[in-house]
Amino acid sequence: MKAQAHTVHLMYARHSLRATALACAAAAALVASGCGGDGGDTPTPTPAPTSRTLSGAVAVGAPMSDGRLRVLDADGNVVASDVTVAEDGSYPAVTLTGNGPWRLEACGHAGAEYRCLYAVAAAPGTAQVTPLTSAAVLLAGQARPEALMNGAAATLTGASLAQAQAQLRTSLGALLTANGLSADFDFTAGALAAGSRSGYDGLLDALGVNLGQDGRPFVQFTQRLGGGNLFLDADGTRIGALSADATAASLDLPGLQAMVSRFSAALAGAAACAQPATGLRSIVADTATLRMEGNAASGGDDVAAALCAMFGHGDSGHAVWGATLQSPALQDCDLSGAAPVCGISMVLRDTQGQLHDVGDGMAVTRQGGAWRLMGSRWPLELHASAEAQRTVRIDGTTPAVQFDRALSFEIEAVPGLACAKVEQPTNFGGPVTVAYYKRHPGAAQQRSLSLWTTGGMSATVSLDPATGTTRQADDAWVLLPADTAGDATIRNFFHGGRNVTISLYADEACTTPFSMGGRSSFRLPVVGVPPIWSSMETQPWAELDAAGKAALRALSLAGNGSGSISAAWTFPNGPQGMSQIFACSRRATCGQGGDGRLGEADLDVRARSATLALRNQGAAIAADSSKLLGVFGRNGDGVNLQTNYTSCPATPAGQQCLD
pLDDT tier, 26 (very low <50, low <70, confident <90, very high otherwise): very low
In the chain, the amino acid numbered 576 is: Q
Instruction: Give residue 565's pLDDT.
Output: 97
Residue 31 has pLDDT above 60, yes or no: no
Q: Is the pLDDT reported for residue 581 higher than 70?
A: yes
Q: Is pLDDT at 32 greater than 80 in this prediction?
A: no
What does the pLDDT look like over 526-535, one tens digit per residue?
Answer: 999 999 999 9
Mean pLDDT on 225-243: 90
Which CA distances in Å does 421 have to 66, 210, 327, 452, 504? 39, 26, 35, 10, 7
| DSSP H helices in 238-348 | 256-266, 270-274, 300-313
Share of the chain above pLDDT 90, in %: 73
- pLDDT of 658 > 80? The answer is no
Radius of gyration from C-alpha coordinates of the chain? 25
Question: Contact, 613 vs 564, CB < 8 A?
Answer: yes
> Strand 562-570 to strand 577-584: parallel, antiparallel, or no bridges (unpaired)?
unpaired
- 475-506 per-position pLDDT tens digit: 999 999 988 889 999 999 999 999 999 999 99
User: What is the per-residue pLDDT across 83-96, written as a single tens digit (0 to 9) for each?
Assistant: 999 999 999 999 99
Nearest to 311 by CA among 302, 299, 300, 321: 321
Split at pLDDT 50, 70, 90, the class of 192 is: very high
What are the respective helix, strand and coil percentages of the chain, to the nearest 5? 20, 35, 45
Residue 53 pairs in a beta bridge with 95
pLDDT tens sequence across 593-633: 778 899 999 998 889 999 999 999 888 999 999 999 999 99
For residue 257, count other CB atoms closer than 10 A to its CB: 15
Domains of the chain: 8-33+381-535 (no CATH), 38-250 (no CATH), 253-376 (3.10.450), 543-647 (2.60.40.10)
The whole-number pLDDT of residue 313 equals: 85
- Distance (Å, whole) CA 83 – CA 69: 5
CA distance 605 to 18: 22
What is the structure's pLDDT at 130? 98
Looking at the predicted structure, is the pLDDT value of residue 46 above 70? no
Cα–Cα distances in Å, from 355 out to 92, 257, 422? 23, 19, 33
Q: Which tens digit of pLDDT belongs to each residue from 567-577?
A: 999 999 888 88
| pLDDT band at residue 295 under the 50/70/90 scheme | confident
User: Could you tell me the pTM of the whole model?
Assistant: 0.89
Which residues are paired to 103 by β-bridges? 72, 120
Q: pLDDT (tens digit, 9 = 90+) per residue, 313-325?
A: 876 678 899 999 9
**Residue 18: pLDDT above 70?**
no
Tens of pLDDT, residues 399-453: 889 999 999 999 999 999 999 999 999 988 789 999 999 999 988 889 999 999 9
What was the pLDDT predicted at 111?
81
> Would the pLDDT of 36 be above 60?
no
Per-residue pLDDT at 294: 64
Task: With cut-offs at 50, 70 and 90, classify the pLDDT of residue 19.
Answer: very low
How much is the average pLDDT of 365-393? Answer: 95
pLDDT bucket at 635, cuts 50 / 70 / 90? confident
H-helix or E-strand spanning residue 12: helix 8-25
Q: Is the pLDDT of residue 134 over 50?
A: yes
Amino acid (one-letter) located at 87: E
From 225, 201, 130, 224, select the one nearest 498 (Cα to Cα). 224
Q: Which amino acid is at 266?
A: A
